[in-house]
């Protein structure tokens, strides 16, 4: 069979990574989490004391940033200048830093090549905000995952709690609204669905039901491609 390429876009907390991981397992694909790249640049900016909204300050750091994606049995690991930061980048603070630096054109250009390279390998499921529009405009299937803000905030709350972070649900809700606004209104590669994306609203679905709905869409799409 030809190599499959699946793009999953959608707002924060819509369950993209949960779905992508399950799809990767079900279809033997490599899961590429592109948000981890933006989060790593965000972490670097935070450590350097840079204002994440300042294009000049963040752009000046890019030459010193070395990023690698490594695939192990435990999934994707992201290596920032030799350090595995995969777990460190999963905080609410870094989410906000990532969202800010992701609006800077030089950052997006910087991360383009590594993502295009992963896309070119094929047999991938990639998630992010501009996968269907910029990174894999010719993906076999483009899903745009949605859920209402309350459901997304609740999921993030549980996810962070499980990782030992104690944020209030209200705080997370506010941050999600702010991130949605940043991510979808930025000038460059805004988080909007591709024209040929298929919408999947999972506000009322659990992860397995979401997987089932996505698999139905994918099978149908691939059948029509043949």
DSSP string for 124-135: EEEEESSIIIII
CB of 100 to ligand DC, least distance (A): 9
Residues binding ligand DC (CB under 6 A): 12, 34-35, 38-39, 95, 98-99, 102, 128-130, 179, 183
CB of 184 to ligand DC, least distance (A): 10
CB of 220 to ligand DC, least distance (A): 25
Cα 12 to Cα 61: distance, rounded to the nearest angstrom: 26
Cα 5 to Cα 142: distance, rounded to the nearest angstrom: 9
- Identity of the residue, 155 or 179, whose beta carbon is nearer to ligand DC in the bound complex: 179
Task: List b or e across 25-41, with b for residues whose CB sees 16 or more CB atoms inside 10 angstroms.
Answer: eeeebbbbbbbbbbbbb
Which DSSP symbol is given to 63? Answer: G
How many of the other CB atoms lie within 10 Å of CB of 143? 31
- Identity of the residue, 77 or 222, whose beta carbon is nearer to ligand DC in the bound complex: 77
Cα 119 to Cα 84: distance, rounded to the nearest angstrom: 22
- Identity of the residue, 129 or 155, whose beta carbon is nearer to ligand DC in the bound complex: 129
- Identity of the residue, 96 or 215, whose beta carbon is nearer to ligand DC in the bound complex: 96
CB of 73 to ligand DC, least distance (A): 22
CB of 71 to ligand DC, least distance (A): 17
- Identity of the residue, 59 or 222, whose beta carbon is nearer to ligand DC in the bound complex: 59
């Amino acid at each position: 069979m030809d190599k499959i390429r699946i793009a999953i876009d959608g707002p924060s907390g819509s369950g993209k990574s949960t779905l992508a991981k399950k799809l990767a397992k079900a279809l033997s694909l490599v899961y590429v989490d592109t948000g981890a790249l933006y989060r790593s640049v965000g972490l670097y900016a935070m450590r350097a004391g840079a204002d994440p909204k300042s294009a000049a300050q963040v752009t000046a750091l890019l030459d010193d940033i070395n990023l690698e994606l490594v695939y192990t049995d435990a999934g994707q690991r992201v290596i920032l200048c030799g350090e595995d930061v995969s777990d460190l980048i999963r905080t609410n603070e870094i989410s906000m830093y990532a969202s800010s630096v992701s609006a800077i054109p030089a950052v997006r250009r910087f991360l383009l090549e590594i993502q295009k390279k992963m896309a070119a390998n094929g047999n991938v499921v990639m998630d992010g905000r501009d996968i269907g529009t910029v990174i894999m405009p010719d993906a076999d299937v483009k899903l745009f995952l949605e859920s209402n803000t309350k459901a997304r905030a609740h999921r993030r709350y549980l996810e962070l709690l499980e990782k030992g972070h104690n944020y209030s649900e209200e705080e997370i809700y506010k941050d999600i609204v702010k991130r949605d606004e940043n991510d979808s209104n930025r000038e460059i590669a805004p988080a909007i669905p591709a024209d040929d994306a298929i919408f999947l609203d999972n506000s009322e679905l659990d992860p397995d039901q979401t997987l089932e709905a996505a698999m139905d869409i994918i099978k149908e799409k691939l059948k029509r491609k043949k």
